[in-house]
Amino acid sequence: MKKLVVVLAGLAILAGCSSQGPSQSSEQKTQSAAPAAPPAPELLSGRVAFQKLYVAAHGWAGDAKPYRLESQPNKESNGHDGKSGVWRGFFASAMRRGIKPYIWSGIKADDAPDLGVSPGTEDTYNPSNTTTQVFDIGFLKTDSDKAFEAAQKHGGEKILAKNADLPVFYVLDWQPRSNELIWHVIYGADMESAKLKISVDASTGDFLRVEK
């Protein structure tokens, strides 16, 4: 009788284990089937993003020099703190007689490029073209977040107080007439519809003017 009780108890334990097994396996399958959460957006200031783009451009051409850097506002980054989840850098190579853009993205979204640094299409370089005037990276001493702070003090703060959702984007380029590297802080979705455009010296961080 005692042996029978022991055997029945053992069968009960085995039955319990086997009944729990499928349940745990099913739970594990459910967890593994759940979609992975998208990575948190990575937002960078202009100088930090530029360093990544500059390294990539030198993989294309050892003499590559920058002539433009710009941010791209989107749903995940409105540029209000001088940072962006998407930056484009444009480079020229006299040796290759070409220009080539590179883009960095820290956002995984429908309105953003692929994560990381991606190359664009190479085009012909004309050194006399005013829109592709290269600059020495030594002039870039002030970051985009400081440019934003300067712009806020000269009309930007009032603009955003009226429209807190208005995007802000940044363009960095060389001005041959004044021999200056300038941050253009643009309040709006594009140049044409911008509510305000501010020029900030990219070397000193000083406010220069309100653009028309």
Token duo for residue 113:
């490029």
Spell out the residues 6+ positions from residue 171 whose beta carbon is closer than 8 angstroms to its own: 68, 69, 70, 71, 183, 184, 186
Interval 139-156: pLDDT, tens? 999 999 999 999 999 999
Q: What is the pLDDT of residue 14?
A: 37
Cα diameter, the chain: 106
Q: What is the pLDDT of residue 32?
A: 53
The pTM score is 0.81
Place of tokens 């000083």: 206
With contact defined as beta carbons under 8 Å apart, do 93 and 61 qualify?
Answer: yes
With contact defined as beta carbons under 8 Å apart, do 174 and 133 qualify?
Answer: yes
Q: What is the pLDDT of residue 34?
A: 60
Per-residue pLDDT of the chain (212 residues; tens, 9 = 90+): 443 343 334 334 334 444 444 455 555 554 555 666 667 889 999 999 999 999 999 999 999 999 999 999 888 899 999 999 999 999 999 999 999 999 999 998 777 788 999 999 999 999 889 899 999 999 999 999 999 999 999 999 999 999 999 999 999 999 998 999 999 999 999 999 999 999 999 999 999 999 98
Burial 5-19 (b: 16+ CB within 10 A, else e): eeeeeeeeeeeeeee
Q: What is the pLDDT of residue 38?
A: 67
Place of tokens 């055997």: 7
